[in-house]
Amino acid sequence: MLDESTQKTFEENRTHLLSVAYRLTGSIADAEDAVQDAWLRLAGADVSEVRDLRAWLTTVVGRLCLDRLRSAAVRRETYVGQWLPEPVVAPLGSLAPPDPLDEIVRDEDNRLAALVVLDSLTPAQRVAFVLHDAFDISFDDIARILGVATPTACQLASRARRTVSAVPPPSSPAEHEEAVGRLVAAFAGADLNAVVAALHPDARMIGDAGGTTRTALNVVVGAEKVARFILGLLRLYGAEALTAFEPVLVNGEMGLLNRGRPAEDGRPGFPPRVTAWTVRDGRIWAAYDIANPEKLGRGVLLPYSIFD
């Protein structure tokens, strides 16, 4: 049985632990499960000689997430199309009580663009880099988690650091919103040239539907190719699908949510999806189209349980 002080310390660090787990896994469900499992480990441990309970819990969560990352790597071998992190979606200007997930995505390191790059790392690289660079866990402790020598843990983090350096720096909220608004207006006019002009020349689109609905199976690269692909999706689902999008915050940055609509009374339906963006040099550099129902759960505002 945990004493009151230890329980209090755990609750005070719950949001921190969720942030660690979400950044390590890119999965809300995995993050929440890892934190719950950390609580169970704490309840069964003798922590009388633990000097820094926060650091101890962080390493426990890191070890639990390593197992989940390895399982996810196996699942991806048979996954249809591209793999994106689970988005955390919140309404603009919400007056609702704060959610721990809202606190997590206020950290720029949890922007979707940053998580996408982390997904390109090996599980060991991701754990070494995130725990050391973001959460100040020593390489000695990281080496014990990974089952490697300390110099190897340092090398893993160094390799990850070089990869992560390619992430575009975050744009200001005003610049981000202006770029998204310009692109959406171009979509509404179905003007190919206007869409291309709103996109960065090196724009890319990454879709994740897990084979459940239409999106890009491979990464689409180049402004014109991206423009033609997205306009094609809009023609497929009709103009009503575009008007159904509502502005929301996706991992702390402005994006779009389409709650979807089932086919009924002769009207075609369209699937729910979240669209997020990365802005570079004032234009859309990356578009993320997340339409896999399994990733539109805990962190997304859906009005009815169409995925149960």
Tell me the C-alpha to C-alpha distance, in Å, between residue 56 and each of 20, 45, 60, 61, 109: 13, 11, 6, 9, 22
Q: Which amino acid is at 300?
A: V
SS3 state at 100: helix
pLDDT tens digits, 45-81: 888 788 899 999 999 999 999 999 999 999 899 999 9
What the block records as the tokens of 141 is 């402790």
pLDDT tens digits, 108-128: 888 999 999 999 999 999 999
pLDDT tens digits, 152-180: 999 999 999 999 998 888 899 999 999 99
What the block records as the tokens of 94 is 């919400």
% of the chain exceeding 70 in pLDDT? 93
Tell me the C-alpha to C-alpha distance, in Å, between residue 220 and each of 119, 192, 247, 288: 18, 16, 24, 11
What the block records as the tokens of 31 is 């993050």
pLDDT of residue 308: 33
Q: Report the candidate in 202, 170, 161, 201 with the shortest Cα–Cα distance to residue 276.
A: 170
pLDDT tens digits, 84-112: 999 999 888 755 556 777 778 877 888 99
pLDDT tens digits, 257-306: 998 888 777 666 778 899 999 999 999 999 999 999 999 876 665 443 33
pLDDT tens digits, 175-204: 999 999 999 999 999 899 999 999 999 999
